[in-house]
């Protein structure tokens, strides 16, 4: 393998070069954005003194060097751009070409591989023929180059910009974080040096819990050190890639929609998601929608047939009147003035007709659902009388059906529609299918064979497109030549419908999506959350970012702290991991070093790109391997549609991934039920960065489980996935240090995502301590001195001020923050605890435990499901904590009444902590009690009843009073002659 050398400048296409010290020139030390010194000087002279990608100010020393050079370098800069224009700018748009020598072609007998070689040879010959002509006619300039030289002002501007948080908001926030860290150190010094001898066990337990809470706070807080905001410019995107009178140059996008069981995931919801995708505001020839039916249900297939027919009416209606959202169920249910901004006289009439058509469509789909409730003994039969291939959901062939598209039905106005493809991968007994991750990887291969768009957008079946311009928002980042080159995915926040205003179980996750994700966007990018994400297909194929320099074999590379300590040596690696890294670098070079392929001889080219190495990585499909080499996407012109369908069936076979890198290095990564976190982590370890996009109108909206039991089971699944990653080889505590491409704050964030379930153990202990203190009369804190009082007061003030300043820069409401804190306790003492327990069982004994939910009937109201009572074992721990803390409070007050006023002082400290637990578990108590408007009465009645009963019992029988000496009692009885 030949070394790739210095990274390529993203502005001019030349190598970055070296500085005066002989080291690689780095313009921005925050994000290491590749830019050569000449382009950097040009940016400074234009008045731009912040990095275009991350928004960080450039180093003052570099700025001083540029200013000292004076104006003499302006002509040099101009000549630099003129010289590099043809080589650098156009080199970025050359399609990647696979080349194998003639002996390799003859050996494998692969016609498609031969076509790639011939295509490369033709391009090479054309280039040689055109070069002398260019020398003879230097004044002639190609039309395309003329257009690039004189673009419109709007088209030449960046497609997105970074808005750092204002200093007057961020500086106090950081100062309080540091102050809180110092106070924590003083607090623990006091706690450890002042043990409580009378309650040593309680004191030691509380100190251990507090140390773990402080560690968890550090993991959660410091990745939010540098939050940023972003703004995209859709108008500039259109001006650059959609010029009037020319074909659209926007990149293609393949949408993935995954579903499993149509009885649990209603087909009507999935259909609305599909309809919103088909009606998206994007060129129809650039959009393809793939629906993965992993349950092979005939109901899903038939509902998709109905959906394709209704789309012929729905899509032109949406685009004609620019309606939002473009999911019909949610559009027609809006309680707003639908005539607002609609001036066409025919709108009202067409809307009424469309609503009538939609109601008829719903009747047909619901009839299919009703019919599917009972499966015939002989199985389902299709219209032609043949059995449905998916009657056995665990043993069936792969199925693909293409609806709509350029060769299918058009809309009622005769216009082309986006392509809609039904996919159900093959399943056979004895094969590991890897659930959702396996289904997504099958869609990656199918889409690569049929359409091969360079970008992939995946959504859950219940997350519809709420903003028809969402794809354009993502393209403002991914297609920006200054930003998108190193971006593996653009993540949108999740927003939800159907949640009550109080959001008692923090279903919206506002704190995570509006605070934590903004913080990660300022480091290396947000984590992948499983839906509403636009991927760079090349990143899913396991390649590293094109501008990232290769890891030089045999030499030390920087560790994860390279941004701070670049001279540190690379730690020792396992030989197997070194071999895997070497193979990955070979693949990276095979794709991204093709611009230098003319420098290699025939033997080096055949070694550089070997079909055999690709087959070992991607599987035995020459058509799919061909697609991986097309960096800009697209299907070969010579491809036959019937041949492509056969190849698509081949790549979704259950044995296709055997002895390949799928699920290990390529696509969605296997090994955890939260494959989203794991897949994003692998990409970040390769050096990619992700971007967080928050348009004003939410891009996607979905549904969330709003009752208590379903919400706890959702959190249980997330926590179990984190525990699985913790016990796997991909644990962020030790994985990915060799390359030094994962920033240390980003690593802290990933460590936080896998260790947070373990907080349940100290949390449940800490929530039990107040009740034990009240029942025993002991306390975990000795008599407070003035210094100790100041430390406690300072700690509480710093916690409050940190929260207030965080609310200030993020825009999150205090109610959302409080709900998040409450459910952190509720989920921590229930779902997270069971996830840790289940994770240990799975690791040690291989036992996979499932916690079932028993559902009862919901009331027929707007939020009827919220008041549904479901019993599950997850409810036991928080219920127990509530009872013992309430009993402890009653016992504490009863004991204080017996002892007199001297006991009231120590009581308040104990009761404070008990009330802290009860207040955090209050939403859980409301969930147990039923309807919202009946809860206060029930709570008051039960509280009075329990307080009365326990008070009477406590006065009569107090097990914690001093034991009476039996001998003294006997002597007293004798003395009075009893």
With 0-12 / 13-18 / 19 or more C-beta atoms within 10 angstroms meaning exposed / middle / buried, residue 621 is: buried
Q: What are phi and psi of 437, to 5 degrees?
A: -60, -40
* Residue 294 is a catalytic residue: yes
Q: Give residues with Cβ within 8 angstroms of 285, minimum separation 6.
A: 248, 252, 406, 416
Of 254, 480, 503, 676, the catalytic one is: 676
Query: Coil, strand or helix: which one is 378?
Result: coil
Q: Is 848 annotated as a binding residue?
A: no
Q: Is 121 annotated as a binding residue?
A: no
* Pairing verdict, β 464-465 and 487-491: unpaired
Of 294, 411, 816, 895, the catalytic one is: 294
Omega prior to 45 cis, within 30 of 0: no
Residue found by looking up tokens 């409301």 in the block: 926
505 within 8 A of 706, measured Cβ to Cβ: yes
630 within 8 A of 403, measured Cβ to Cβ: no
Residue found by looking up tokens 């000087």 in the block: 41
Q: Is 760 annotated as a binding residue?
A: no
Q: Is 294 annotated as a binding residue?
A: yes
Residue found by looking up tokens 């928002």 in the block: 473
Q: Is 469 annotated as a binding residue?
A: no
Q: Is 583 annotated as a binding residue?
A: no
Q: DSSP readout, 773-826?
A: HHHHS--SS----HHHHHHHHHHHHHHHHHHHHHHHHH---HHHHHHHHHHHHH
Helices then strands, each counted (H, E), the chain:
37, 15
Q: DSSP readout, 151-170?
A: --HHHHS-SEEEEEPPHHHH
Residue found by looking up tokens 């210095």 in the block: 6
What is the C-alpha separation between 320 and 341, in angstroms, rounded? 13
* Pairing verdict, β 533-536 and 399-404: unpaired
598 within 8 A of 127, measured Cβ to Cβ: no
Query: Coil, strand or helix: which one is 268?
Result: helix
DSSP letter for 396, please: B
223 within 8 A of 745, measured Cβ to Cβ: yes
**Which secondary-structure segment (H or E) carries 613?**
helix 611-618
Through-space distance between the first and last CA atoms of the chain, rounded to whole angstroms: 104
Q: Is 56 annotated as a binding residue?
A: no
* Residue 341 is a catalytic residue: no
H runs (alpha helix) in 194-242? 200-221, 234-241
What is the C-alpha separation between 335 and 328, in angstroms, rounded? 14
What is the C-alpha separation between 144 and 135, in angstroms, rounded? 18
What are the CA-CA distances from residue 806 to residues 56, 219, 921 (Å)? 21, 16, 24
DSSP letter for 263, please: T
Question: Which residues does the annotation place in the binding site for Mn(2+)?
Answer: 436, 460
Catalytic residue numbers read 294, 676
Question: Which residues does the annotation place in the binding site for UDP-alpha-D-glucose?
Answer: 258, 264-265, 294, 435
Question: Which residues does the annotation place in the binding site?
Answer: 258, 264-265, 294, 435-436, 460
């Amino acid at each position: 393998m030949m070394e790739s050398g210095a990274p390529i400048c993203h502005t001019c296409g030349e190598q970055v070069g070296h500085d005066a010290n002989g080291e690689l020139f780095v313009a921005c030390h925050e994000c290491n954005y590749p830019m050569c010194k000449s382009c950097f000087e040009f940016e400074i002279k234009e008045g731009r003194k912040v990095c275009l990608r991350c928004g960080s100010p450039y180093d003052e020393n570099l700025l001083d060097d540029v200013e000292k050079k004076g104006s003499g370098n302006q002509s040099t800069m101009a000549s630099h751009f003129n010289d590099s224009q043809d080589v650098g700018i156009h080199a970025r748009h050359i399609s990647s070409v696979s080349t194998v020598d003639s002996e390799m072609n003859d050996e494998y007998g692969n016609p498609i591989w031969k076509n790639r070689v011939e295509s490369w040879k033709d391009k090479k010959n054309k280039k040689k023929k055109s070069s002398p002509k260019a020398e003879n006619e230097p004044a002639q300039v190609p039309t395309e180059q003329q257009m690039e030289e004189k673009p419109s002002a709007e088209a030449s501007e960046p497609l997105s910009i970074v808005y750092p948080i204002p200093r007057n908001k961020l500086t106090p926030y950081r100062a309080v974080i540091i102050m809180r860290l110092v106070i924590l150190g003083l607090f623990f010094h006091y706690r450890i040096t002042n043990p409580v001898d009378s309650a040593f066990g309680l004191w030691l337990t509380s100190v251990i819990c507090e140390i773990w809470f402080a560690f968890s706070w550090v993991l959660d807080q410091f990745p939010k050190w540098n939050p940023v905001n972003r703004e995209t410019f859709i108008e500039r995107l259109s001006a650059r890639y959609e010029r009037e009178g020319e074909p659209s140059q926007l990149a293609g996008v393949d949408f993935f929609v995954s579903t499993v069981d149509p009885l649990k995931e209603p087909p009507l919801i999935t259909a609305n998601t599909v309809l919103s995708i088909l009606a998206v505001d994007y060129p129809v020839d650039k959009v393809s929608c793939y629906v993965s039916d992993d349950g092979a249900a005939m109901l899903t297939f038939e509902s998709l047939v109905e959906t394709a027919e209704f789309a012929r009416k729905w899509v032109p209606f949406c685009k004609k009147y620019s309606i939002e959202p473009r999911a019909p169920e949610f559009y027609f249910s809006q309680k707003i003035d639908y005539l607002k901004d609609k001036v066409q006289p025919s709108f009202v009439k067409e809307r009424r007709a469309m609503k009538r058509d939609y109601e008829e469509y719903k009747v047909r789909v619901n009839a299919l659902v009703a019919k599917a409730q009972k499966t015939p003994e002989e199985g389902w039969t299709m219209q032609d009388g043949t059995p449905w291939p998916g009657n056995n959901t665990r043993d069936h062939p792969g199925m693909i059906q293409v609806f709509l598209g350029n060769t299918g039905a058009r809309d009622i106005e005769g216009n082309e529609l986006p392509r809609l493809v039904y996919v159900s991968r093959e399943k056979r007994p004895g094969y590991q299918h890897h659930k959702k991750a396996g289904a997504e990887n099958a869609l990656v291969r199918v889409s690569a064979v049929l359409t091969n768009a360079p970008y992939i957008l995946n959504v859950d079946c219940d997350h519809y497109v709420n903003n028809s311009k969402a794809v354009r928002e993502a393209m403002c980042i991914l297609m920006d030549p200054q930003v998108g080159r190193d971006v593996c995915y653009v993540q949108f926040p999740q927003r939800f419908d159907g949640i009550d205003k109080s959001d008692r179980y923090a279903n919206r996750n506002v704190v995570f999506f509006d605070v934590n994700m903004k913080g990660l966007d300022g480091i290396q990018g947000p984590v992948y959350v499983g839906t509403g994400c636009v991927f760079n297909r090349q990143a899913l194929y396991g390649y590293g970012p094109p501008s990232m320099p290769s890891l030089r074999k045999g030499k030390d590379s920087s560790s994860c702290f390279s941004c701070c300590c670049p001279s540190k040596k690379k730690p020792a690696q396992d030989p197997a991991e070194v071999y895997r890294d070497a193979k990955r670098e070979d693949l990276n070079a095979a794709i991204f070093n093709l611009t230098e392929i003319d420098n290699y001889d025939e033997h080096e080219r055949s070694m550089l790109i070997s079909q055999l190495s690709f087959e070992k990585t991607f599987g035995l499909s020459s058509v799919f391997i061909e697609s991986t080499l097309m960096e800009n996407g697209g299907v070969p012109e010579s491809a036959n549609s019937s041949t492509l369908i056969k190849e698509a069936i081949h790549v979704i076979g259950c044995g296709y991934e055997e002895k390949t890198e799928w699920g290990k290095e390529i696509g969605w990564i296997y090994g955890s039920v939260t494959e989203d976190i794991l897949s994003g982590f692998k990409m970040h370890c390769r050096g990619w960065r992700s971007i967080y996009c928050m348009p004003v109108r939410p891009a996607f909206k979905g549904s969330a489980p709003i009752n208590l039991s379903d919400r706890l089971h959702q959190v249980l699944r997330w926590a179990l996935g984190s525990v699985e990653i913790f016990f796997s080889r991909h644990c962020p505590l030790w994985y990915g240090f060799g390359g030094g491409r994962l920033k240390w704050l980003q690593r802290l964030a990933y460590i936080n995502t896998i260790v947070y379930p373990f907080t349940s153990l100290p949390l449940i202990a800490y929530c039990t301590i107040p009740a034990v203190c009240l029942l025993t009369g002991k306390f975990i804190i000795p008599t407070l001195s003035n210094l100790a009082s100041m430390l406690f007061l300072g700690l509480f003030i710093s916690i409050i001020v940190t929260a207030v300043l965080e609310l200030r820069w993020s825009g999150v409401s205090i109610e959302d923050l409080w709900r998040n804190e409450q459910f952190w306790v509720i989920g921590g003492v229930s779902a997270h605890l069971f996830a840790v327990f289940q994770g240990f069982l799975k690791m040690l004994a291989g036992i996979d435990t499932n916690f079932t939910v028993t559902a009862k009937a919901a009331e027929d109201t707007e939020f009827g499901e919220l008041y549904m009572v479901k019993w599950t074992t997850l409810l036991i721990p928080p219920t127990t904590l509530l009872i013992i803390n309430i009993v402890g409070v009653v016992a504490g007050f009863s004991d204080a009444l017996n002892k007199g006023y001297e006991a009231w002082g120590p009581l308040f400290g104990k009761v404070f902590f008990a009330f802290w637990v009860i207040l955090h578990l209050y939403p859980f108590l409301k969930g147990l009690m039923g309807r919202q408007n009946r809860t206060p009465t029930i709570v008051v009645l039960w509280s009075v009843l329990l307080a009365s009963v326990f008070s009477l019992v406590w006065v009569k029988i107090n097990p914690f009073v001093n034991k009476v000496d039996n001998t003294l009692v006997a002597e007293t009885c004798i003395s009075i002659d009893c």
